[in-house]
Amino acid sequence: MAIAVQQYNVGGIVLPRPFKVRRLGHFGFNALKVWESLAFYNALLGFKISDELDFSKNPNMPEAVKALPDARGFFMRHGTDHHSFVLFNKRVMDFRADRTFRPDVTINQITWQVGSLREVVDAFHYFQEREVPIQRVGRDMPGSNWHCYVYDPDGHTNEFYYGIEQVGWDDISKPRAMYYRGFREEPSLPQISENAEVVEALHDKGVDIFSGYRYEEKLPARYDVEGVLLPRPFKITKIGPVHLFVDDVDASEVFYTQTLGFVKTEESTYHGARCVFLRTGSEHHSLALFPKALRASLGFSTHTTCKSFGVEVGSYQQLREAVAFLKSHGVTVLDALPPELSLGMDYVVHAIDPEGHCIQLYYYMEQIGWDGRVRPPQARRPLTAEWPEALEPLSDTYVDQVFQGPLG
């Protein structure tokens, strides 16, 4: 007997879920070495700070958090999204009443953009109906994104959002005086637009709309990055993929594909372990799942379930220069990892942050077309231990490099 599959009208398209993940929007870590990590992500990798949040000023936080010498968390960005990376104090996060982190979950959140506010609200109901553990729904400030937070089978927080604040040429974030539009519950629909919110703040509430956090680069701009002087010889142009170590690859694959709608691109086998690569758009993968048994044997830190957080830089040249730059600043860079662990990419670098988290830097990711087929293994670029000075292009080289706006 055929099982009836529920269908949803998503903007006029009939889908098996009431939302469609479009891309990875942001990602974050909880760290003990907050200051060293901040220096790594801000000064070395170049994420701009877009807001700070002092959790000791939150009346719902326990005395232990209020007694910390510094309980700030940092929102950072590589482009115009208010945040694409967040760094929070693990000592603070472990005390949150509204969220729980398992002992080796140091990922603060893995955050996916959906297509509309309605998709966020409908996703909330969909998760409720399927008894997916939900953390909260509403709209957080800073960042202004409407969202719903759920846990995956390993306790990783997955957030689904619409409408993150955009920070423009003046590097000014939305002021705190506009945070009254935050929500701690399911919003009724429809909501007023952001333009209407700004008009209201400006004309009805007398808010100085230019009084928010403003970022200024403090480091000397010594490097010519393809025609622009920047403090580091590369620019992060995209975030993701996220690689996770999980307890049960099969269970996680079912959750991410069947519940969330990710598409399996391909899988690899490494020392008998199944590794699964999943996508949400035309990129080879935006998420990959690896069995936890590989974590120690590959030399990854056992304090975290994050195998790596990927950041794409603007070109192959930038990637080469990033390696030398990071090494010159004392950053540990791993020896080449087996290609089975990085399917769909060619030259990649794995750098270790002060906390032991692995950052995967790359410049190219294979793009998947309408028929969902991957490039045959024999047609992929053969990698050499010695990186060439320049490469022949592939059919999809630089096709996903569409960074909007100036590099710095």
Which residues contribute to the site for Fe ion (CB under 5 A)?
A: 111, 159
Neighbour-count burial for 156-168, b at 16+ CB within 10 Å, e otherwise: bbbbbbbbbbebe
Closest separation between CB of residue 332 and Fe ion, Å? 28
Minimum CB distance to Fe ion smaller for 184 or for 327: 184
The answer to whether 260 and 24 have CB atoms below 8 angstroms apart is: no
The nearest distance, CB 164 to Fe ion, in angstroms, is 8
- Residue 47 C-beta: closest distance to Fe ion, Å: 15
Burial class (CB in 10 A: 0-12, 13-18, 19+), 277: buried
Helices and strands of the chain, counted as H and E runs: 8, 20
What does DSSP say about strands 107-113 and 23-31: parallel, antiparallel, or unpaired?
antiparallel
Shortest spacing between CB 12 and Fe ion, in angstroms? 28
The least distance separating Fe ion from the CB of residue 121, rounded to whole angstroms, comes to 17
Sequence-ordered list of residues with C-beta below 8 angstroms from that of 57, at least 6 positions apart, any chain: none
**Strand, helix or coil for residue 36:** helix
| CB 109 to Fe ion: min, Å | 5
- DSSP conformation class of 263: E
HEC readout, 49-88: EEEEEEHHHCCCCCHHHHCCCCCEEEEEECCCECCCEEEE
Least separation in angstroms between residue 114's CB and Fe ion is 13
Which one, 111 or 280, has the nearer CB to Fe ion?
111
Contacts of 25 (CB under 8 A, 6+ apart): 81, 84, 111, 112, 113, 145, 161, 164
Q: Which amino acid is at 275?
A: C
DSSP 3: P
Smaller CB separation from Fe ion, 37 or 111: 111
Closest CB to Fe ion among 83 and 285?
Answer: 83
Contact of 365 with 279, CB cutoff 8 Å = no
Q: What are phi and psi of 103, to 5 degrees?
A: -55, -40
- Pick 47 or 234: Cβ nearer Fe ion: 47
Residue closer to Fe ion, measured from CB, 141 or 322: 141
Distance CA 405, CA 408 (A): 9
The residue (of 53 and 352) whose beta carbon lies closer to Fe ion is 53
SS3 289: strand
Q: How far apart are CB 179 and Fe ion at their closest, in Å?
A: 15
Q: Is 293 helix (H, G, I), strand (E, B) or coil?
A: helix
Give the residue with the Cβ less far from Fe ion, 133 or 338.
133
Task: Output the smallest distance, CB 216 to Fe ion, in A.
Answer: 24
Question: Which is it for strands 228-230 and 146-151: parallel, antiparallel or unpaired?
Answer: unpaired
Would you say 122 or 159 has its CB closer to Fe ion?
A: 159
Structure tokens at 133: 């553990």
β-pairing, 23-31 vs 85-89, is parallel
